Structure 1
């Protein structure tokens, strides 16, 4: 597998204290959240968790990529939404892994055009590029 090089435009910096049961904050102070394991994993569920944060970032990034592709193809994606469902569970090797389901709603387009745009967005989205070949990412148009 080839590692992709980039011309860095921006670097986000976040620091975690106490791992999955603590706090995460960014160096600019714009994000400062309590993280706790979800109840389904034996935690309190009182705060957010890394999977929710990953889902939020992935959905926003994918929506942005969808916009880039739509502009190039002069497609109307107004009113569209992208939802990322991030799941965590045990792997066969004994560790933990993730899988993602991306669903897009694009009300102004027919199903075939919407599906084509979603597949193209998956090729340019930085989160998709980072996860490609590492985890399962399912795409759907709803």
Structure 2
């Protein structure tokens, strides 16, 4: 059984409204509490990193599924929204993925059905979604279409 190890180094200066840095290989950024939560809003923050992690995992999983099924994809984009509830503390409540998949004009009705099913299945097979499941509500609102000639 192979194990993959990932490492992050973080530095922080100040208290709650301080500013820090993270370095995790290709991910290097300043970090702080977002302005929406009465922080300095410098660099990224845990909320953006969580939806970024969930979104990239979902997108890569969906792309791999579509490739394996030989679906003729013209364009694949994703918008992801995270909702944090502030009530007696903070709770990351919900992540909604909104993929848009545009298929080539050669796509069949079967390709369209397979793609719609894959948009749901990708969320269930994504490693990050599975790590969050049970703690954060996860949803997919897909838009699948065929390109117009």
Coarse TM-score class (shorter-chain normalised)? 0.7 to 0.9
Task: Give 1:28-67 correspondences, 5 Å limit.
Answer: 28=25, 30-67=26-63
The TM-score with structure 1 as length reference comes to 0.78
Q: Structure 2 vs 1, CA of residues 40 and 27 (structure 1 numbering), >3 Å: closer, same or farther?
A: closer
Q: Structure 2 vs 1, CA of residues 21 and 101 (structure 1 numbering), >3 Å: closer, same or farther?
A: farther
The TM-score with structure 2 as length reference comes to 0.74
Structure 2: segments with no counterpart, 5+ residues: 144-149
Q: Which residue of 2 aligns with 1:12?
A: 6
C-alpha deviation, 1:96, in angstroms: 1.9
How much is the aligned-residue C-alpha RMSD, in angstroms? Answer: 2.4
Aligned equivalents of 2:34 and 2:116: distance in 1? Answer: 33
Equivalent pairs counted in the alignment come to 133
Structure 1: segments with no counterpart, 5+ residues: 1-5
1:102 and 2:103 are equivalent in the alignment = no
Greater share of strand: 2
SS at the partner of 1:103?
strand
1:74 and 2:75 are equivalent in the alignment = no
Higher Rg: 2
